[in-house]
Chain A
Amino acid sequence: MNTGDNAFILICSALVFFMTPALAFFYGGMVRRKNVLNTIMACVGVMGLSVVMWVMCGYSFAFGPDHLGLIGGLKYFFLNGIDFNSTSPYAPTLSATTFVIFQMMFAMITPALITGSVVGRMRFPALMLFIALWSLIVYYPLAHMVWGAGGMIAKWGAVDFAGGNVVHISSGVSGLILAAFLGKRRGVEHVSYRVHNIPFVFLGAGILWFGWFGFNAGSALAANGLAAHAFLTTTLSAAAALLSWMAIDVLKEGKPTLVGASTGLVVGLVAITPGAGFVPLWAAFIIGILVSPICYGCMHIIKTRLKIDDALDAFGCHGIGGIWGGIATGLFAKSSINSVAKWDGLVFGDTHLFVAQLEAIATTIAIAAVGTLICVGITRLVTTMRASAQDEAFGMDNSQHGEDAYPAFNGFDSVI
């Protein structure tokens, strides 16, 4: 065990943990005042659920002994057999417990991302049930396939540094499908966004950026040069995406917006996630600068053509950003930067990694889609997913939690 590595990853775990409350504010500011507590509460509920489930069976299913390349087992039920004094098979310099903790935070933020698709209309008990099922049916198997020993996707040679597939594509796709089943929010045909507190949006985005250093640099699983490289690619991509979203705002509407800049930096972080520890620095700049126009265009198509009310763009940001990041990793990765990548990317003239990345992305989408359909089916059997029209109109804060956030700024908040 290396105490330096161990200390670094424990701190990174705390940083990744901070991303879920950050997401609560990022999402909370983007909804109407009457739904802000329910939106935050969705993330808070996930914080409780994900930790308990991870300790109970999640770690074991994701990182336990392999079954068919698809899932682990129950060997480490309630972390039985994880000795904090011994090292982790996944990270030989870390305490086994440190690795469990670091991965726990990823199992927390991922289902929290989904909640952005369903704000303002999903019954809270149904959401909690869905999240529990989704963790079991989608997240743990997928984490195993990508990161677990013997996992199917890892065997293909596809790489995913910090969780483009496992975290972002899976949550984005699942959010989109869940939103389609739930139906649209009332009145969304008039107004698609009801941003009530833009400072909250940036508060969340800023802390997400901070937490992402733990997410990406920590995914080196050691306090080494690769961690520093991932730290730098991460922040460069976020900065480039922030600027390119501002540029789109200025070109389209004449003014840069804070919601736009905040969205841009988040999609920049999403896009660099799979490649942070594989691509050269110049590629991080390209990945970041291009992700904003890609997401901007796709969000528009989802909202106007697909007509799915992916309310806060969980798919538009994380699904699309993650897919672009996975493809970009196949384009720009260099095995000289990180030998986990067996081949160089397409721009260096090798097609193997690129094809493996496309396969991994397609597989992730398929697993997330099928898994979500199963989760929706079970949730519907047990309970009603959609809040009643009256509860929705009254506001989810009051109807689901019996709480009020704060008074309206001017007595009437169907206006932004």
Chain B
Amino acid sequence: MMYKIEAIVREEKFEELKAALNKIDVNGITIWQVLGFGSQRGYRRVVRGQEIDVLIHSKLKFEIVVSSEEWRDKTIDTILEVAKTDQVGDGKIFVSEIVDAIRIRTGERGYDALQPDTGK
């Protein structure tokens, strides 16, 4: 079974999380700049003494597709380890099952499509 892990994390965790995921050898990361809010519902800012509620704010989303439960758990553990600050606003991880994966160049499908590219 393949899984997609979507982790919405703090922007400042970018370098650290990228490095940690690379270190455990995940075979691909897609990163999105995203906007939204969670249960903390934005934050407050002040300009010239006027309060401004910023509901929608900026986060990063890491998308990683893995080929086994073992890799799924390993990836989630790594994200938790790095992205957790114990403050409100650390983000969320969503996990879903993936029906298929295709490597465009070779046409390999499923498990094979996610394995290291040997350049054949």
- Which of A248, A252, A410, A416 is the one whose CB lies under 8 Å from B52? A416
Among candidates A260, A316, A410, A415, residue contacting B54 with C-beta atoms closer than 8 Å = A415
Q: Does A263 lie within 8 Å of B48, measured CB to CB? A: yes
Among A248, A259, A410, contact of B47 (Cβ-Cβ < 8 Å):
A259
A-B contact pairs, 22 of them (CB 8 A): A190-B53, A191-B52, A192-B50, A193-B48, A193-B52, A195-B47, A253-B46, A259-B47, A260-B48, A299-B50, A300-B50, A410-B35, A410-B58, A411-B35, A412-B56, A414-B56, A415-B54, A415-B56, A415-B57, A416-B45, A416-B47, A416-B52
A contact residues vs B (CB 8 Å cutoff): 190-193, 195, 248-249, 252-253, 257, 259-260, 263, 296, 299-300, 303, 313, 316, 410-412, 414-416
Interface of B is mostly: strand
Contacts A410-B35, A412-B35, A415-B35 given; does A193 touch B50 at CB 8 Å: yes
Nearest residue in A to B50 (C-beta to C-beta)? A192
Q: Given the complex of chains A and B, what is the CA–CA distance between A313 and B50 in angstroms?
A: 12
Partner of B49, one of A195, A300, A414: A300
Q: Given that A410-B58, A415-B58 are contacting pairs, would A296 and B52 also be in contact in the complex, using a CB cutoff of 8 Å?
A: no
A-contact 0/1 string along B10-52, CB 8 Å cutoff: 0000000000000000000000010100000000011111101
**Closest Cβ of chain B: how far from A277's Cβ, in Å?**
30
- CB B49 to nearest CB in A, in angstroms, measures 5
Give min CB distance, A116 to chain B, whole Å. 12
- Give me the interface of B with A, judged by CB distance under 8 Å: 33, 35, 45-50, 52-54, 56-58
Most chain B CB neighbours (cut-off 10 Å) among A190, A191, A296? A191
Question: What are the residues of chain A within 8 A of B33 when measuring CB–CB?
Answer: 410-411
Contact yes or no, B49 A296, CB < 8 A: yes
**With the chains together, A249 CA to B47 CA distance in Å?**
9
B53 to chain A: which residues have CB within 8 Å?
A: 190-191
- Which chain B residues lie closer than 8 Å to A257 at the CB level? 46-47
Could you tell me if A296 and B48 are in contact, using CB atoms closer than 8 angstroms? Answer: yes
* CA of A195 to CA of B50, assembled, Å: 12
How close is B15's CB to chain A, nearest CB, in angstroms? 18
CB distance from A249 to the nearest CB of B (A): 8
Tell me the bound Cα distance from A259 to B47 in angstroms.
Answer: 7
Report how far A303 CA is from B50 CA in the complex, Å: 8
Q: How far is the CB of B56 from chain A (nearest CB, A)?
A: 5
| Complex: A257 Cα to B50 Cα, angstroms | 13
Given the complex of chains A and B, what is the CA–CA distance between A32 and B35 in angstroms? Answer: 17
B86 to chain A, nearest CB (A): 22
Q: Which residue of A lies closest to B44 (CB)?
A: A253
Given contacts A411-B33, A412-B35, contact A313 B56 (CB under 8 A): no
Residues of chain B within 8 A of A416, CB atoms compared? 45, 47, 52, 54
Task: Enumerate the 6 nearest inter-chain pairs by beta-carbon distance, A residue then B residue, closest first.
Answer: A193-B47, A192-B50, A253-B46, A415-B56, A300-B49, A191-B52
Chain B residues within an 8 Å CB radius of A300:
49-50
Question: Beyond the given A412-B56, A415-B57, could you list 18 further A-B residue pairs with CB under 8 A, ordered by the A residue number?
Answer: A190-B53, A191-B53, A192-B50, A193-B48, A193-B52, A248-B49, A249-B46, A252-B49, A253-B46, A257-B46, A296-B49, A299-B50, A300-B49, A410-B35, A410-B58, A415-B58, A416-B45, A416-B54
For A260, give the chain B residue with the smallest CB separation. B48
- Please give, as numbers and ranges, the residues of chain B lying within 8 Å of A303 by CB-CB distance: 50
Q: Which residues of A contact B45 (CB under 8 A)?
A: 416
Give chain A nearest CB distance to B18 CB in angstroms: 18
CA–CA, A410 and B57, complex, Å: 10
Contacts of A412 in B (CB 8 A): 35, 56
Question: From A316, which residue of chain B is reached at the shortest CB distance?
Answer: B48
| Docked CA distance A248–B56 (Å) | 27
List of B residues within 8 angstroms of A193 by Cβ: 47-48, 50, 52
Q: Give the distance in Å from the alpha carbon of A402 to the alpha carbon of B68 in the complex.
A: 52
A263 to B52, CA, bound (A): 17
Q: How far is the CA of A299 from the CA of B51 in the complex (A)?
A: 12
What's the minimum C-beta distance from B14 to chain A, rounded to whole angstroms? 14
- The distance from the CB of B50 to the nearest CB of chain A, in whole angstroms, is 5
A313 touches B58 (CB 8 A): no
The CA of A112 and the CA of B46, in the complex, are separated in Å by: 26
User: Looking across the interface, which residue of chain B has its beta carbon closest to that of A191?
Assistant: B52
Question: What's the least CB distance linking B113 to chain A, in Å?
Answer: 29
Q: Separation in Å of the A360 CB from the closest CB of chain B? A: 28
In Å, the complex CA distance between A316 and B46 comes to: 16
| A252-B46 in contact given A191-B52, A415-B56 (Cβ < 8 Å) | yes
Cβ contacts under 8 Å, A411 to chain B: 33, 35
Which residues of chain A are within 8 angstroms of B47 by Cβ–Cβ distance? Answer: 192-193, 195, 257, 259, 416
Assembly CA distance A299 to B46 (angstroms):
13
Whether A299 contacts B49 in the complex (CB less than 8 A), given A410-B35, A411-B33, comes out as yes
